[in-house]
Amino acid sequence: MQSNNRQAANTVADLYERHAKLWDISRGKTLFERSWLDRFTALIPQRGSILDIGCGSGEPLARHFIESDYAVTGIDSSSSLIDMCKTRFPNSDWQIADMRSLSLGRSFDGLIAWDSFFHLTSEDQRDMFPLFRTHSKPGTALMFTSGPAHGEAMGTFVGEPLYHSSLSPDEYRALLTEHGFTVVAHKAEDPACGSHTVWLAQRQ
């Protein structure tokens, strides 16, 4: 079972690339995340910079930030999804990149990994926290979604397995503290946000 999960984890990027157009359609454009996005941007200066980690097709989250006058940089491992972003928002910065090797050489006012970070294995998630710190500065807001408890879960997309993983809440808190972030808000399986488990933190 563990080897099957590992295989599924390694094919997430390929799954999104092969079905990019279908994923874009099925994602929907309704901002059910709006209340959390508002809490996130409340911590960011007006017209500040936001790094969207696993930006997908740029809709609806990146569109919301761009239309609110934030400077958005988006990264995703899917070249097809990045092409959609470039077509829709040609004045923003879009890059094909694996978040696990993120190295942009700059810091941002906000970092968001919404419905992307939780596709990484637990080991890879732990390794992301130094990268969050590298791309942040004092005051930077960080928001990501996770599972509600430690473990792996397998979903499906177009009939294919879609891997998810989570650390425990205590470990997320410890990693955030270790890398200089303070938890501002956390909600497990928020019923007002499609049962998403959300973490919002700010670097000190």
For residue range 117-153, what is the model confidence (pLDDT) as tens digits?
A: 999 999 999 999 999 999 999 999 999 999 999 999 9
Percent of the chain topping pLDDT 70: 97
Reply yes or no on whether the pLDDT at 43 is more than 90.
yes
What confidence tier does 2 reach under pLDDT thresholds 50, 70, 90? low
Distances (CA, A) of 203 to 45, 145, 187, 196: 14, 17, 19, 22
The class (CATH top level) of 2-203 is alpha beta
Do the beta carbons of residue 65 and residue 50 sit within 8 Å?
yes
Residue 2: which residues within 8 A CB-CB, separation 6 or more?
none
Q: Give 52-111 pLDDT, tens digit per residue.
A: 999 999 999 999 999 999 999 999 999 999 999 999 999 999 999 999 999 999 999 999
For β-strands 110-113 and 93-96, DSSP reports them as unpaired
pLDDT of 1: 46
* Residue 4 or 21, more confident: 21
88: exposed, middle or buried (Cβ count in 10 Å: 0-12, 13-18, 19+)? middle
Which DSSP symbol is given to 107? -
Q: What is the mean pLDDT of residues 190-199?
A: 97
